[in-house]
Structure 1
Amino acid sequence: MAELRFQIKGMHCASCVGKVEKAMATVPGVDQVSVNLATGEARVHGSGHLPALGLLEAVHRAGFEADPADDEALSEIPSTVEDPQLLRRDLRLAILLSVLLMILAMLGPKGLPWSVAQGALATVVLVGPGRRFYVRAWQLLRRRGTAMETLIALGTGAAYLGSWASLALGGHLYFESAAVIVALILLGRVLEGRARDSAADALRELARLLPERAVRVEDDGSETELPLAQVRPGDRLRVRSGSKVPVDGVVIQGEGAVDESMLTGESRHLRRQSGERVTGGTLLVDGFVELRVTAVGEHTALAGILRLVRDAQASKAPVQRLADRVAGIFVPAVLGLALLTVLLHLILAPQLGALTILMRGVAVLIIACPCALGLATPTAILVGSGLAASHGILFREAAALERLQSIGVLAMDKTGTLTRGRPSVARFHNFSTLPQGQLLRFVEAAESSVSHPLAEALRDYARERAEGKAFALAVTTRPGGGVRAEVTGKQVLVGSPAYLESEGVSLDEERELLDELEAGGLTPVLVGLEGRLAGAFGLEDELRPEVPALVAQLGRMGVEPVLLSGDRPQAVQRTAAQAGIERWAAALRPDQKAKRIREEAAKGAGVGMLGDGVNDAPALAAATVGIALASGTDVAVATAPVTLVHGNLSRLIDAMRLSARTLRTIRENLFWAFVYNVLAIPLAALGVLNPMIAAGAMAASSVFVVTNSLRLRGFRFGRRPGPAAR
């Protein structure tokens, strides 16, 4: 599916978002549009060609400006605020003139010249700092649209023109109200803009992790310092202690301790040596490494992380739908309420006077705040997803951030998820007449060219204990079975019991031992020599040390862990016992895992699935929310809604707690936005709040929502949750 991204300018409320989405959706070829008020970004999806020019024109016709977003994932995160310098300059001017107006209105001499002076000062405020509201309202009117600027322009315009009319009749003036309204709304925008930019700080910090330059090693061994943009895959780079790793690569020389906390949240420094991968943006705390570049620019793990976070921030959470529906009719409804306020007062309380009645209508227009509705959800998602990314938790979509806190059952894969995914030899039995070291020499030679986790475990074990070195000839492998090789003239078989039996090796004499290995949850791998059973290995996949604590914490949070595995029942039972999991199922195919998850979901509980992100794809898709473990280099291709970077299982509890905290913040924001408007509009209509107080309240409403979202930055990772932690 094709995708285009645009940076939209001029949006200030939820109704603006609706207009941009509606305008872009009318362009041929567009299937889906998502616009985010907090980031100012629009994402357009279509099954075929997307006409970028047509989309830009559609946004312009709707009264907004748009620019194609930079596709480079590591580009600087754009500010979401209109020209901050211009905004601050206009705010200073509006405040200065408004203060002068207030002094004239309250303390100044009376008389026509001084009243005209008030009108002149108000004119400067409205034509200068307030001009943006009238221009925007006029643009929308020409396109038969309305937005927050419509309410501001009508409200301040009515107060201003009504004051001139009252001046001619010798009545009370409200010039200072019109000016103060503009000043307060501009103040609100400045504060809101700062808060919205602060919300994206975590993402900006990630984008700035890479250094600007790198040191390349030339063919003659000399060093060349060059801009990062000139580094290419295959280059050799040198990284010294205290320097940042500039790109993704493989260490080819040296070793050192690497701080990956900025990407994974892992506080321990990890040793990296020859043959191991390092990730761009991490810090070499000590040591010296030379690496071969494997990925640069938008293909690095850091770029993949940034893309995932931006995707999440651009998407919409289900809880936002109600706010979007209300925002679609909000401004027209407020216009109707303001008109109704004026008409009812003229009919029921004409003694108040036309100008007082008009000011009550103005207060209704000014106090209504669609901004708070539009910012309630995206600002919380912006802060929550950015904070999560900086601690090794990636949310692919806003819906996942909302749904994760709702799960009551967590299904988990075994191999590579609860276990390390790196088998090791737990037991070895020598049935032959050869010394153990000689038999292990045959095993090492036979497995030397086999690429499989079990083969790697056998090689490591044999290499440490073998006597001498041997080489294998005529090596043949059977996938899922084992390997046949000729070593120093002898036929060697290494593989599963079924494989050796298929090759004519009798297992009858040691059947009891094999049953014992399997009963203990070990994986048996046998050795055949010249057609006879010569040895047996019992391999185990070690449980991750953090798993028992994780399972206990899930229980305290009211989440039931369930182990679903394709491994043998004995091995699964052993892992479940070690982890403290009561419910488990073994020998399941991927489609059977997915079926089990659907059955759990049918009982009414939200079901999470924790897996490796590849083999467990059907189960991850069937779950309420899928959670994948991925290394830094796999992050860019991870497809699960939630990804734990570098397989950091300890972050799962943090992800669930952060999900609950973010959803609570969204609900607080929406509650405030709705309750504020429900209470404030009637108070303004009844004259309890004058237009100036209304303007201050409206500005404060948006600032409150954004500031409340920023409180998420105080979330503490690594805390042990109690029963009420969610």
Structure 2
Amino acid sequence: MDQALRTPDRAPLGGDTAAGAAIDLSVQGMTCASCVGRVERALAAVPGVARANVNLATEQAHIQAEAGVTGDLLVQAVAKAGYEAQVLSDDNRHSDEAEARHDAEADALRKALWLAALLTLPVFILEMGSHLIPGVHRLLANTIGMQNSWYLQFVLTTVVLLLPGRRFFTVGIPALLRRAPDMNSLVALGAGAAYAYSVVATFFPFLLPPSAINVYYEAAAVIVTLILLGRWLEAGAKGRTSEAIKRLMKLQPDTARVLRDGQWTDASVSSLSRGETVALRPGERVPVDGIVIEGSSYIDESMISGEPVPAQKNEGASVVAGTVNQSGALTLKVTKTGADTVLAQIIRMVEQAQADKLPIQAVVDRITMWFVPAVMAAAAVTFLVWLLIGPTPALTFALVNAVAVLIIACPCAMGLATPTSIMVGTGRAAQLGVLFRKGDALQALRDARVVAVDKTGTLTEGKPALTDFITAAGFDRTSVLRQVAAVEARSEHPIAQAIVQAAQQEGLSLAPATAFSTQTGAGIVAQTEGVLVQVGAERYMRSLNIDVAVFSTEVQRLSEEGKTPVYAAIDGQLAAMIAVSDPIKTSTAQAIQAMHGMGLKVVMVTGDSRRTGEAIARQLGIDEVIAEVMPDGKVEAINTLKQRYGMLAFVGDGINDAPALAAADIGIAIGTGTDIAMEAADVVLMSGDMGGVTAAIDISRATLANIRQNLFWAFAYNTALIPIAAGVLYPINGVLLSPIFAAGAMAMSSVFVVGNALRLKRFVPHRHT
């Protein structure tokens, strides 16, 4: 977990970018999928821009640009398209100002909604009350009179359109004049048409046929009110989609206790630098990445790794900013600060994944590019058909149905369907310790058919440990272990180091060894505590004429477990059989079982011997073993498996895994591995175990299912209701869709899509159940 997670550098505010650098913009004024497409096309048209992704849910644009492209150029391009933009940097990306702007927008929508509702309610009662409640029409006629009722409705509706509804006209009409209509254009046309028709009927009735003299002030006012309601609910829901990022940002404390000039003092975290000494008391959050130089404690790393069990930290252990110290006091040496900390890099990686577009979004983009013009054409056709062949009053029917078509088909839900699910899904994944470095990996992982895994450090702990130490008759285990460890302490071999570590863990003190020599490829020999100690493989024992048949039963068992035994002789007599192996991680077997339950095939790709690989495969239930392969051979094995099974995910952690990670359809790096492996991967698992793979696949499948639900709702909903709004049911059963219901249905469509995406916040993968 203490390894660096690198992402592409961000461009400075308004400055030139290096070749292939990324510039992020905050874009204000977008309301629907058409707006997204328009901003993307405007940015893509700037010379030097290689790629532009615009996200309606985050209201941000992510641009890959060549050298010479400045943030100012991109802001100007967005402005020409009719929207406001600001270059995002590390300083203002998550500033209080940005959050305040979002809160102010939501507050303005709330105030506009209340004003519109208060003004619309009398209009609705005056007009619809006379239709719905017997006696109201006569009451109005006998009191203020119908004409005065229309005058009052005109005044109230005019205020609704001029004040709270003004935003739709000031944005929608210019967009229409630029031949780039958006959702605001549809609302402005719909509400404006109903209002204009009513004004003519009120003040110039002689221009209309007698049967067509009706007013629809309530339609214009209610349309504005309901869409404001939808916008306000949507703004609140969209704010909740980014809570995962906000929660991660709030993990780092503002101050830390640092040793300066021999005195402990409280200082801002931003002022800390590498090499400084920081004190951490029980219950405090770790302010920066560091190494423990004094003390012992348990650290809750669940918000970083997703693992609920606190990790023990002793001298020399690494700690990560944002994690919580539970019990003891620690003294830390600062290793990383600011944007270099693991927490900061996690936030950047989540943002990068949220900014990317999934392949499924390309289909949505192609459809929505033509959707608004198609809706306007459908509304025009509806108006003409009803005007030419509709019943009396034809003009009234034509107007009402055309307005209903314009309002029902606003593509807000289409624009929000994919990005909101990605935002919530990747944010939830980060909380579970799964980081999607690339957004398209989210979709690709769902389609994986086979998971190929490296052995060392992925299935296993990655460091040898003493697993068996069996003494021969007449020998004391403690004495033999102490003497063998004293000799092995002179060796650099991993097996030797494992034996020494085991002795130290048992508290054994090691005497010095003399006359040490290595028998190449066979064993070692030395003097310690006045005895001759010889340690080596079976062939070394045979060369010494020492019979090891007494351990034949144990040797058979070790062979089945994939372990290779070595032997120790004291003064020429067989004293012990020793087995050192790389222990399998405790979570590995359960994770592989879960993968099988998901219908995945699991293949081990390892450089170890076939016997060892197959023994471990039998223990874990792995389907297939490809053993004794070099790093370039792993790439060949990956390509063969892809051809045989289809979409493949490869899980690894070492430098030698980087080529295979890059060659796989989805590369998954264990977060406790090397920088190179993580740089080559599409997904990083902070938990450091195979359980993270099942969590990643689970969240991938859940997020894509959520996207499919949203897209079905958005497209099926619009496709089904446009004909109904146009009046196709009228000849059958006399049913028409009122513009008021159309406005309410359209507003609720967007709220449904965002609300459905928010369900992912409560998602729990199999390994956390």
Q: Report the TM-score when normalising by structure 1.
A: 0.89
2:233 aligned partner, one-letter code: L
| Residue number in structure 1 paired with 2:368 | 327
Pick which of 306-315 and 345-354 moved more.
Answer: 345-354
Distance 1:482 1:190 in 2: 76
Distance 2:290 2:618 in 1: 39
Distance 1:361 1:324 in 2: 25
Report deviation, 1:117. Answer: 2.4
Distance 1:127 1:175 in 2: 14
Aligned to 1:71, the other structure's residue is in SS state coil
Report deviation, 1:718. Answer: 4.3
Going from structure 1 to structure 2, the CA distance change for 1:278 and 1:250 (only over 3 Å counts) comes to same
Report deviation, 1:575. Answer: 1.4
| Residue number in structure 2 paired with 1:216 | 258
Report deviation, 1:591. Answer: 2.4
Report deviation, 1:425. Answer: 2.5
Q: Contact 2:523–2:535 (CA<8 Å) still a contact in 1? A: yes
| Residue number in structure 1 paired with 2:119 | 97
| Residue number in structure 2 paired with 1:117 | 152
| Residue number in structure 1 paired with 2:487 | 442
Distance 1:636 1:232 in 2: 28
Task: State the Cα deviation string for residues 692-719 of structure 1 (Å, max 9, x = none).
Answer: 1111111011111111111222322446
Q: Contact 1:74–1:303 (CA<8 Å) still a contact in 2? A: no
Identity %: 39
Distance 1:298 1:592 in 2: 37
Which aligned pairs between 1:387-426 and structure 2 lie closer than 5 A? 387-426=428-467
Going from structure 1 to structure 2, the CA distance change for 1:474 and 1:459 (only over 3 Å counts) comes to same
Counterpart pick for 2:604 among 563, 580, 605: 563
Going from structure 1 to structure 2, the CA distance change for 1:436 and 1:384 (only over 3 Å counts) comes to closer
Q: Contact 1:443–1:462 (CA<8 Å) still a contact in 2? A: no
| Residue number in structure 2 paired with 1:53 | 72
Going from structure 1 to structure 2, the CA distance change for 1:473 and 1:262 (only over 3 Å counts) comes to farther
| Residue number in structure 2 paired with 1:361 | 402
Task: State the Cα deviation string for residues 566-586 of structure 1 (Å, max 9, x = none).
Answer: 111222122112212241121
Distance 2:313 2:761 in 1: 32
Q: Contact 2:453–2:603 (CA<8 Å) still a contact in 1? A: yes
1:67 aligned partner, one-letter code: Q
Task: State the Cα deviation string for residues 125-172 of structure 1 (Å, max 9, x = none).
Answer: 111111111111233235331111111111111111111112211711
Residue 624 of structure 1 pairs with residue 646 of structure 2: no
Report deviation, 1:487. Answer: 9.9
Distance 2:536 2:43 in 1: 60
Task: State the Cα deviation string for residues 212-247 of structure 1 (Å, max 9, x = none).
Answer: 111112342x31011111111111111111111111
Report deviation, 1:519. Answer: 7.5
2:284 aligned partner, one-letter code: S
1:551 aligned partner, one-letter code: I
Distance 1:158 1:496 in 2: 93
Report deviation, 1:124. Answer: 0.9
| Residue number in structure 2 paired with 1:257 | 298
Aligned to 1:426, the other structure's residue is in SS state strand
Distance 1:453 1:76 in 2: 49
Distance 2:389 2:649 in 1: 59
Going from structure 1 to structure 2, the CA distance change for 1:435 and 1:347 (only over 3 Å counts) comes to closer
Pick which of 683-692 and 36-45 moved more.
Answer: 683-692
Q: Contact 1:635–1:645 (CA<8 Å) still a contact in 2? A: no
Aligned to 1:154, the other structure's residue is in SS state helix
Q: Contact 1:240–1:287 (CA<8 Å) still a contact in 2? A: yes
Distance 1:156 1:629 in 2: 56
Aligned to 1:680, the other structure's residue is in SS state helix
Q: Contact 1:76–1:204 (CA<8 Å) still a contact in 2? A: no
Which aligned pairs between 1:138-149 and structure 2 lie closer than 5 A? 138-149=173-184
Q: Contact 1:308–1:394 (CA<8 Å) still a contact in 2? A: yes
Distance 2:190 2:517 in 1: 86
Pick which of 299-308 and 607-616 moved more.
Answer: 607-616
Distance 2:257 2:410 in 1: 53
Distance 1:519 1:671 in 2: 53
Distance 1:74 1:150 in 2: 31
Q: Contact 1:256–1:287 (CA<8 Å) still a contact in 2? A: yes
| Residue number in structure 2 paired with 1:205 | 247
Report deviation, 1:363. Answer: 1.0
Q: Contact 2:485–2:510 (CA<8 Å) still a contact in 1? A: no
Going from structure 1 to structure 2, the CA distance change for 1:472 and 1:395 (only over 3 Å counts) comes to farther
Q: Report the TM-score when normalising by structure 2.
A: 0.84
| Residue number in structure 2 paired with 1:724 | none
Q: Contact 2:449–2:645 (CA<8 Å) still a contact in 1? A: no
Counterpart pick for 1:276 among 317, 333, 348: 317
Aligned to 1:344, the other structure's residue is in SS state helix
Pick which of 1-10 and 97-106 moved more.
Answer: 97-106
Counterpart pick for 1:690 among 720, 738, 741: 738
Q: Contact 1:264–1:648 (CA<8 Å) still a contact in 2? A: no
* Matched residues, number: 708
2:119 aligned partner, one-letter code: L
2:250 aligned partner, one-letter code: R
| Residue number in structure 1 paired with 2:353 | 312
Pick which of 310-319 and 163-172 moved more.
Answer: 163-172
Residue 28 of structure 1 pairs with residue 28 of structure 2: no
Going from structure 1 to structure 2, the CA distance change for 1:321 and 1:81 (only over 3 Å counts) comes to farther
Counterpart pick for 1:43 among 62, 74, 90: 62
Distance 1:483 1:21 in 2: 67
Q: Which runs of 5+ in 1 are unaligned?
A: 722-726
Going from structure 1 to structure 2, the CA distance change for 1:9 and 1:457 (only over 3 Å counts) comes to same
Distance 2:514 2:88 in 1: 57
Q: Contact 2:353–2:436 (CA<8 Å) still a contact in 1? A: yes
Report deviation, 1:520. Answer: 5.8
RMSD: 3.7
Distance 2:400 2:394 in 1: 10
Aligned to 1:397, the other structure's residue is in SS state coil
Pick which of 158-167 and 709-718 moved more.
Answer: 709-718
Task: State the Cα deviation string for residues 569-621 of structure 1 (Å, max 9, x = none).
Answer: 22212211221224112101222222222222223532221211643122222
Distance 1:40 1:148 in 2: 16
Pick which of 709-718 and 242-251 moved more.
Answer: 709-718
Task: State the Cα deviation string for residues 291-316 of structure 1 (Å, max 9, x = none).
Answer: 00111111111111111111111111
Q: Contact 1:301–1:636 (CA<8 Å) still a contact in 2? A: no
